[in-house]
Amino acid sequence: MAKLKTIYLAIIFLFLYAPIGVLIAQSFNESRYRGNWTGFTLKWYESLFENEDILNALSNTISIGFFSALIATIFALITCLALREVGKKWRAMFMSAANVPILNADIVTGISLMLLFLGLGMKLGYGSILLAHVVFNVPYVMLCIMPQLIALDKSFYEAALDLGASPFKAFTSVVLPELRPSIFAGFLLAFTMSADDFIITYFTRGAGVDTLPTAIYSQLKLGIHPEMYALSTLVFFTILIFVILFAMNRKKI
Amino acid sequence: MFRSVGIRNLFLAPFCIWAGVFIFVPLIFIAWYGVTNADGNFSLENLEMIFQTEFFRSLEVSVILALVSTIVCLILAYPLCLILVERAKSAGLIITLLFVLPLWMNTLLSTMAWQTILEKNGILNQLLRFFSLPDFTLINTSAAVVIGMIYNYLPYMVLPLYVALSKIDLSVIEAAKDLGASTWKTFYKIILPLSLPGAISGVTMVFIPALTTFAISALLGGGKLLLIGNVIEQEFTFEYDWHLGSALSIVLMIFIVVNMIITLAFDNSHEETSD
């Protein structure tokens, strides 16, 4: 039985990592055509740092991810603080309203935001992508912060007030430290969702502005630039290292 | 936490404005485009178009493929999560994280890699030829699209299911076994009902994106297999018929709402039994 279980894990593991293996192999492939192995090379890793389109898309992805996560986190925190004090029914209603952009299909959210931006006469571009990402990131952060905020013991905050702290001081020195893990988790989740989003970005971007996913999509028809494989290999191993470090730390605690 | 209701409402106000502008007005835009024609007059012709054979066919294929992928994901994820929960005790979190890690690989690139694996002279066929087995070409079929969907959305099934299963108190399972229940009966009577909420959120998280994708079908279906997502994308980016595209989006939203109602119904019945 234990052997059978290991075999099952191995099969699923193979299924999940076969394409990743193909991509990594592709990044070392001499030929720029996929599925055609002509020899080992590192040249794509060198030319990656000269490919302005990819570097631009990468910097857009990172900056949109960072700023949309930051804005969404601040916004979600303010809203959750207020929602803590409304009744249970109202809170559930507000939360479901906030969740609409992520419960809805990405394609519907993307199109509806595009119609809104064009309807308001906004120019599609970096700003519209950023705004759209904040829209779908707010509920993710709220989902992370809300449970911990509800579980938070209010009396510490009140004690700080009784001892003469200003509400702001009491908030930053009592409430905020308690919430730090969930704020951090929300920020990270929002950043990941933003960096990985393709469909909503696709509909809300303007000509000439690309994030990595949309850059990849536009390259699909003419063939992916092999530098893209090199970049995703680097990204994959970076995340793998972080995950391993995280798991090892957790084990110690 | 606030000295007065007024201050609390001051904190709540930005969200209310935000939700109005960026959550509800966009949906009104879609609804408005969906029920008007190019001249701006009210008309239901776009919504009626859906019953035209080609669109209806796309919708039908999308629902079938999404259902198949969801069911396969569920069947694959249950034993996987059960094994992972069991192994997590000795091996720690790392083994579970490895099964979610592919989420961080770009969807489009890994789907592209499936193209390399499944195509006529792809890796799968080269392997089969190496072992002198007959060719097995899946690319540009609905099976390839289903594989792509399962690949991309399996982690979304694994995550909630794993969380639900890891919360089950092991002594309950042991008690069932001590009382003479078979493995299958323990699963059916104990594990399944207790993990149902996780399974349901997993089903939603797989079904909705699978129903509405257009990238996976474009890459692995060879442009011949038009899912409802492909049709909507074409209406917005090639045909520029926003009215028809919006009407089709409204139809998608009906599916999402139905899905949400089913989920909520399951959630409520579960809460009643657990309270």
- Digit-coded pLDDT (tens) for B227-257: 999 999 999 988 888 999 999 999 999 988 8
- Which segment of A55-64, B30-39, B96-105 scores lowest on mean pLDDT? B96-105
Q: Which residue has the higher pLDDT, A249 or B6?
A: B6
Query: Which SS3 state, helix, strand or coil, does residue B36 take?
Result: strand
Interchain CB distance below 8 Å, A247 and B94: yes
The 8-class DSSP code of residue B227 comes to: -
Q: Is A5 on the interface with B (CB under 8 A)?
A: yes
B269 falls in which pLDDT band (50, 70, 90)? low
- Per-residue pLDDT at B275: 36
- Per-residue pLDDT at A197: 93
Closest-CA distance, B10 to chain A, in angstroms, reads 8
Query: Which SS3 state, helix, strand or coil, does residue A172 take?
Result: helix
Closest-CA distance, A21 to chain B, in angstroms, reads 9
B271 falls in which pLDDT band (50, 70, 90)? low
Percent of chain B having pLDDT more than 90?
A: 40
Closest-CA distance, B108 to chain A, in angstroms, reads 7
Interchain CB distance below 8 Å, B229 and A5: no
Helix (H) or strand (E) holding A140: helix A126-151
- For residues B157 and B202, is the Cβ–Cβ distance under 8 A? yes
Range with top average pLDDT, A240-244, B7-11, B22-26, B83-87: B22-26
Report the C-alpha gap between B212 and B249 in whole angstroms. 10
Interchain CB distance below 8 Å, B94 and A228: no
* pTM score, whole prediction: 0.89
Q: What is the mean pLDDT of residues B154-170?
A: 90
Name which of A11, A16, A196 to mutate to probe chain B: the one with the most chain B Cβ atoms within 10 A of its Cβ.
A16
Closest-CA distance, B124 to chain A, in angstroms, reads 11
Q: What is the mean pLDDT of residues B59-74?
A: 96
Q: What is the mean pLDDT of residues B143-169?
A: 92
pLDDT in tens, B80-95: 999 998 888 777 678 8
Which residues of chain A neighbour B80 with C-beta distances below 8 Å? 8-9, 12
Interchain CB distance below 8 Å, B1 and A157: yes
Closest-CA distance, B148 to chain A, in angstroms, reads 10
Interchain CB distance below 8 Å, B110 and A23: yes
Sole residue written with tokens 């409430």 = A175
Report the C-alpha gap between B115 and B217 in whole angstroms. 11
Q: Which residue has the higher pLDDT, B37 or A252?
A: B37
- Per-residue pLDDT at A137: 96
Report the C-alpha gap between A143 and A148 in whole angstroms. 10
Helix axes A212-220, B107-118, angle to 10 degrees: 30
The CA-based angle A237-A243-A245, given to 5 degrees, is: 105
Interchain CB distance below 8 Å, A119 and B29: yes
Q: Is B40 left (phi over 0), alpha (psi -120 to 50) or beta?
A: left
Interchain CB distance below 8 Å, A229 and B76: no
- Per-residue pLDDT at B124: 87
B273 falls in which pLDDT band (50, 70, 90)? very low
Please determine, for residue B26, whether its predicted confidence score (pLDDT) is greater than 80: yes
The gap from C-alpha A204 to its chain's centroid, in whole angstroms, comes to 17
B154-B159-B161-B164 Cα dihedral, nearest 10 degrees: 180
Here the ipTM equals 0.87
The CA-based angle A90-A94-A96, given to 5 degrees, is: 115
Q: Say which amino acid occupies A156.
A: F
Q: Which residue of A has its CA nearest to B28?
A: A112
Q: Is A93 on the interface with B (CB under 8 A)?
A: no
Report the C-alpha gap between B52 and B228 in whole angstroms. 13
Q: Is A243 on the interface with B (CB under 8 A)?
A: yes
- Per-residue pLDDT at A110: 95
Q: Which residue of A has its CA nearest to B247?
A: A108
Which residues of chain A neighbour B211 with C-beta distances below 8 Å? 105
Which residues of chain B neighbour A199 with C-beta distances below 8 Å? 214-215
- Per-residue pLDDT at A232: 92
Name which of A26, A31, A111, A202 to mutate to probe chain B: the one with the most chain B Cβ atoms within 10 A of its Cβ.
A111
- For residues B111 and B216, is the Cβ–Cβ distance under 8 A? yes
Query: Which SS3 state, helix, strand or coil, does residue B42 take?
Result: strand
Closest-CA distance, A174 to chain B, in angstroms, reads 12
Task: With a cut of 50, list the residues of chain A below it in pLDDT.
Answer: 253
- Per-residue pLDDT at B125: 86
The CATH fold of domain B49-269: MetI-like fold (1.10.3720)
Q: What is chain B's alpha carbon radius of gyration, rounded to the nearest angstrom? A: 23
Closest-CA distance, B193 to chain A, in angstroms, reads 23
Interchain CB distance below 8 Å, B229 and A107: yes
